[in-house]
Amino acid sequence: MTMSEAKKTYYLTTPIYYPSDKLHIGHAYTTVAGDSMARYKRLRGYDVYFLTGTDEHGQKIERKAEEAGTTPQQFVDRIVDGIQELWTKLEITHDDFIRTTEDRHKRSVEKIFQQLLDQGDIYLGTYEGWYCTPCESFFLERQLVNGNCPDCGRPVERVKEESYFFRMSNYADRLLQYYEENPDFIQPESRKNEMINNFIKPGLEDLAVSRTTFDWGIKVPGDPKHVIYVWIDALSNYITALGYGSEDDSKYERYWPADVHLVGKEIVRFHTIYWPIMLMALDLPLPKKVFGHGWWLTLEGKMSKSKGNVINPVYLIDRYGLDAFRYFLMREVPFGSDGTFTPEGFIERVNFDLANDLGNLLNRSVAMIDKYFDGVIPAYEGVVTAFDGELQQAAALAVEQVEKAMDNMEFSVALTALWKFISLSNKYIDQTQPWVLAKDEAKRGELASVMVHLAESLRITSIILRPFMTKTPQKMWEQLGINEGSLTEWESIKTFGQIGGQRVAKGDPVFPRLDMEEERAYILQSMTIGMKPAQDDQSGAAAGAGAGSAGDERANQAASTAGTGGNGEAEVSDQKEEITIDDFAKVELRIAQVIAAEPVPKANRLLKLQLDLGYEQRQVVSGIAEHYKPEELVGRKVICVVNLKPVKLRGELSQGMILAASKDGQLTLATVPDSMPNGAIVK
Ligand code: MSP
């Protein structure tokens, strides 16, 4: 192949994530967006290079490792294993995974630092400022609050410390010029103004690019008491992964500059100020685009372990499938804006868009081809019915709009355009009324045309879905009787009417409808369990997770009272931290007698129990219906956790939980002899 025939390249990256904890839906978001774009560009014939990885140095990791009683390297190794498993689960098609603890990265970062030092862009100076020892942080005079640490309020000390500095200000003008000449460099546009007005215009200060207060990092060449600042280390990954500064830099030559760095909005500053300046100093080309997307939030604001509202992708994928999860992420929120995750929002997307619109179109079409044409898709004969032309135009428009949206990284816009076409295809069935045409032999040609139009619309839909969904397109092809090949390529959707002659195969619904109440309960519970389950996918962080006992109580309650999970929540209890006697004393356990029991309507696993605690009666909903008949329970004495925060399960109030042992699908209530009075304390 000569150079001019060579494929166009497309290099895209995600941030390299901190392996300080397991990753949540927010990290999955950036990575799925990157993967959708990578898959799209490959379909469009590009030679794609998609990079992700982990940012493993720094004080935070050093401390977490210490808390966990391991070396930093052991600590990150475990978490990185979990992160890589998560990407496998999400079917991420990255071409490389860079770890900043790898030699290939470290060697190249040392070279970069050395060059900047030799050139005089970096110099050794002294840092003077205010230091808060408990927070291990430096502050400028103006950041102090009444002379104290702005974070913890304690007194600060004046310190003078040796540090290497980067002369950032030398490059401010060139940077602004680059912004001007490349209006698409920072996306969305609003973030550009923020960078200019808040950071560049007020004047760039020289940046301290080394630290002497901790050890876990790449050492400054020739001055090992200094560790290279983590952002210099981290940002370099985008070129070290391509072999920059190594013996084989062919990938660097081929793929750099990056077509896009995908990042969350909070790190746009590092990617659009520090990184371009580093590259200018190294005399290297600048990335073409930095896209700063928005954040996933919950109704309580930011996700956080202490609020118990962290969304763990594994729960959603295990229960609803990968494609529903990926679709939801890319469809729900415009890329660039913040979005609020709610269980209802998720369930409605699955029910309306996937089960109803897409699922029904496929089912109805395949069933009709089966019924009216013995399962064989009729040949395409052009525009036959009064509605064929409009449907064909809608298909062409969808393709055009999707391509345009993808060029602008507007994933949700692309999917909205596709769903408009899916809705129109459903409407086309109502307009053409195939069941009426089928009654009239003279209308056989029209009926055939309707069938092939529907099959073709489904084929086009399946191909547009390929960047976003990893399994559904294949399932659709199986039902439509087409094999992967020329009929599944992107270019094939630009000419309507390629399908015909295939034998359809009825299949299961691609997306079953979800029960709002049941699934809402499941998702809410999974949010309270958050990142804690002993899921093998991201197992590494469990030891360092440090969740409080409240989290554990809720986790257990979710596991044994609701029982809607079925993916191992009960196993949470396997990996608990040591607690003190005081921690244990917070749990109030008492003997209770079951005085009535009945099933909860439409919830196979739940029983509603009335308990007598001696001093009061209360209701507890328990996930034991598959193991006990209501009548078996009445009269039994059980152990109840009475000071658990009440919850509503399937609309029923549950004030506490009863203890049970379970393993491998078996469950037995912890019972006590009848002689023990109701209300007696268990400890
Ligand atoms: N290690 C740095 C990045 C260095 S890149 C040279 C870092 N790591 S991180 O683990 O904190 O990951 C931050 C990134 O994860 C965000 O920029 C974003 O891509 C993603 N997200 C983390 N939480 C998020 C949300 N709540 N919502 C959306 N994305 C978020 O910063």
With contact defined as beta carbons under 8 Å apart, do 613 and 657 qualify?
Answer: no
What are 428-461's pLDDT values in tens digits? 999 999 999 999 999 999 999 999 999 999 999 9
Q: How far is the CA of 15 from the centre of ligand 1 (A)?
A: 6
Distance CA 641, CA 101 (A): 46
Q: What is the pLDDT of residue 546?
A: 25
Read off the pLDDT of each residue in 271-294 and give the average, rounded to a whole number: 98
For the cut 70, the answer to whether the pLDDT of residue 316 exceeds it is: yes
Question: Mean pLDDT score of the chain, rounded to an integer?
Answer: 90
Q: How far is the CA of 440 from the centre of ligand 1 (A)?
A: 61
Q: How far is the CA of 453 from the centre of ligand 1 (A)?
A: 44
Q: How far is the CA of 336 from the centre of ligand 1 (A)?
A: 14
26 lines ligand 1 (CB under 6 A): yes
With contact defined as beta carbons under 8 Å apart, do 489 and 43 qualify?
Answer: yes
Q: What is the pLDDT of residue 663?
A: 77
Q: How far is the CA of 351 from the centre of ligand 1 (A)?
A: 30
Q: What is the pLDDT of residue 309?
A: 86
235 lines ligand 1 (CB under 6 A): yes
Q: What is the pLDDT of residue 586?
A: 86
263 lines ligand 1 (CB under 6 A): yes
pLDDT band at 662 (very low <50, low <70, confident <90, very high): confident
Q: How far is the CA of 470 from the centre of ligand 1 (A)?
A: 24
Distance CA 553, CA 44 (A): 50
Q: How far apart, in Å, are the Cα atoms of 383 and each of 380, 431, 510, 513?
A: 9, 15, 30, 35
For the cut 90, the answer to whether the pLDDT of residue 274 exceeds it is: yes
Q: Whose CA is nearest to atom 25 of ligand 1?
A: 26
Q: Whose CA is nearest to atom 29 of ligand 1?
A: 26
Sign of the Cα pseudo-torsion (386, 387, 392, 393, in order)? positive
Q: What is the pLDDT of residue 573?
A: 33
Q: Whose CA is nearest to atom 5 of ligand 1?
A: 15
Q: What is the pLDDT of residue 259?
A: 98
What are 553-589's pLDDT values in tens digits? 223 333 222 222 223 222 333 456 778 788 888 899 9
With contact defined as beta carbons under 8 Å apart, do 256 and 152 qualify?
Answer: no
Q: What is the pLDDT of residue 576?
A: 67
With contact defined as beta carbons under 8 Å apart, do 120 and 166 qualify?
Answer: no
30 lines ligand 1 (CB under 6 A): yes
Q: Residue 637 carries which DSSP code?
A: E
Q: Identify the residue whose tokens are 């489904």.
A: 458
Query: Residues for the chain: how many in total?
Result: 683
Q: What is the pLDDT of residue 623?
A: 87
Q: Give the per-residue SS3 of 187-225.
A: ECHHHHHHHHHHHHCCCCCCEECEECCCCCCCEECCEEE
Q: What is the pLDDT of residue 308?
A: 78
Distance CA 551, CA 529 (A): 7
Q: How far is the CA of 231 from the centre of ligand 1 (A)?
A: 13
Q: How far is the CA of 259 from the centre of ligand 1 (A)?
A: 19
Q: What is the pLDDT of residue 532?
A: 61
Contacting residues for 66 by C-beta, under 8 A, at least 6 apart: none
What are 323-337's pLDDT values in tens digits? 999 999 999 999 999
Q: What is the pLDDT of residue 5?
A: 57
Q: Residue 310 carries which DSSP code?
A: P
Distance CA 373, CA 439 (A): 13
Residue type, 202: P
Encoded tokens for 30: 């950036």
Residue 63, number of CB atoms within 10 A of its CB: 16
Mutation probe of ligand 1 site: the residue of 13, 22, 25, 30 with most atoms within 8 A of C-beta? 30
Contacting residues for 594 by C-beta, under 8 A, at least 6 apart: 609, 610, 611, 633, 634, 635, 636, 638
Q: How far is the CA of 297 from the centre of ligand 1 (A)?
A: 13
Distance CA 613, CA 541 (A): 39
What are 585-612's pLDDT values in tens digits? 889 999 999 999 999 887 888 899 999 9
pLDDT band at 541 (very low <50, low <70, confident <90, very high): very low
More confident residue, 39 or 650: 39
Distance of CA 472 to the CA centre of its chain: 19
Encoded tokens for 467: 């960047």
Instruction: Name residue 611's beta-bridge partners.
Output: 594, 618
What are 506-524's pLDDT values in tens digits? 999 999 999 999 999 999 9
Q: How far is the CA of 276 from the centre of ligand 1 (A)?
A: 19
For the cut 60, the answer to whether the pLDDT of residue 545 exceeds it is: no
Q: Give the per-residue SS3 of 521-543.
A: HHHHHHHHHCCCCCCHHHHHHHH
Q: Residue 575 carries which DSSP code?
A: G
Q: Which of 286, 284, 185 is nearest to 244 (CA)?
A: 284
Q: What is the pLDDT of residue 133?
A: 75
With contact defined as beta carbons under 8 Å apart, do 52 and 13 qualify?
Answer: yes
The four Cα atoms 57, 61, 66, 72 give a dihedral, to 10 degrees, of: -40
Q: Identify the residue whose tokens are 């929540």.
A: 569
Distance CA 510, CA 350 (A): 11
Q: How far apart, in Å, are the Cα atoms of 98 and each of 68, 94, 293, 295, 382?
A: 24, 10, 22, 24, 51
Q: What is the pLDDT of residue 537?
A: 40
Q: What is the pLDDT of residue 437?
A: 98
Mutation probe of ligand 1 site: the residue of 191, 263, 265 with most atoms within 8 A of C-beta? 263
Report helix, strand or coil for 488: helix
Q: Whose CA is nearest to atom 31 of ligand 1?
A: 17
Q: How far is the CA of 152 from the centre of ligand 1 (A)?
A: 25
Q: What is the pLDDT of residue 578?
A: 76
User: Which strands make up the sheet holding 47-54, listed edge to edge?
Assistant: 96-99, 47-54, 9-17, 260-264, 290-293, 186-187
More confident residue, 223 or 569: 223
The phi and psi torsions of 501 (rounded to 5 degrees) equal 95, -15
Q: Which of 25, 19, 24, 22 is nearest to 53 (CA)?
A: 19
Q: How far is the CA of 21 from the centre of ligand 1 (A)?
A: 12
Q: Which of 434, 448, 435, 479 is nearest to 461 (CA)?
A: 479
Q: What is the pLDDT of residue 584?
A: 86
What are 76-96's pLDDT values in tens digits? 999 999 999 999 999 999 999
55 lines ligand 1 (CB under 6 A): yes
Q: What is the pLDDT of residue 136?
A: 67
Residue 126, number of CB atoms within 10 A of its CB: 10
Q: What is the pLDDT of residue 127?
A: 85
Distance CA 302, CA 24 (A): 12
With contact defined as beta carbons under 8 Å apart, do 31 and 210 qualify?
Answer: no
pLDDT band at 304 (very low <50, low <70, confident <90, very high): confident
Instruction: Name residue 9's beta-bridge partners.
Output: 47
Q: Whose CA is nearest to atom 20 of ligand 1?
A: 27
Encoded tokens for 174: 């060139």
What are 128-175's pLDDT values in tens digits? 888 887 776 778 888 899 999 988 889 999 988 899 999 999 999 999
Q: At what angle do helices 360-373 and 411-432 cross, to 10 degrees?
A: 40
| Atom of ligand 1 minimally distant from the CA of 55 | 1
Using the CB atoms, write b or e for 548-584: b if 16+ within 10 Å. Answer: ebebbbbbbbbbbbbbbbeeebbebeeeeeeeeeeee
Distance CA 563, CA 649 (A): 10
Q: What is the pLDDT of residue 649?
A: 79
Containing 450, the helix (H) or strand (E) segment is helix 444-464
| Atom of ligand 1 minimally distant from the CA of 265 | 17
17 lines ligand 1 (CB under 6 A): yes
Distance CA 574, CA 137 (A): 37
15 lines ligand 1 (CB under 6 A): yes
Q: What is the pLDDT of residue 256?
A: 98
First to last CA, the chain: 77
Share of the chain residues as helix, strand and coil, in percent rounded to the nearest 5: 45, 20, 35
Report helix, strand or coil for 493: helix
What are 240-259's pLDDT values in tens digits? 999 999 999 999 999 999 99
Contacting residues for 168 by C-beta, under 8 A, at least 6 apart: 204, 205, 206, 207, 273, 274, 277
268 lines ligand 1 (CB under 6 A): no
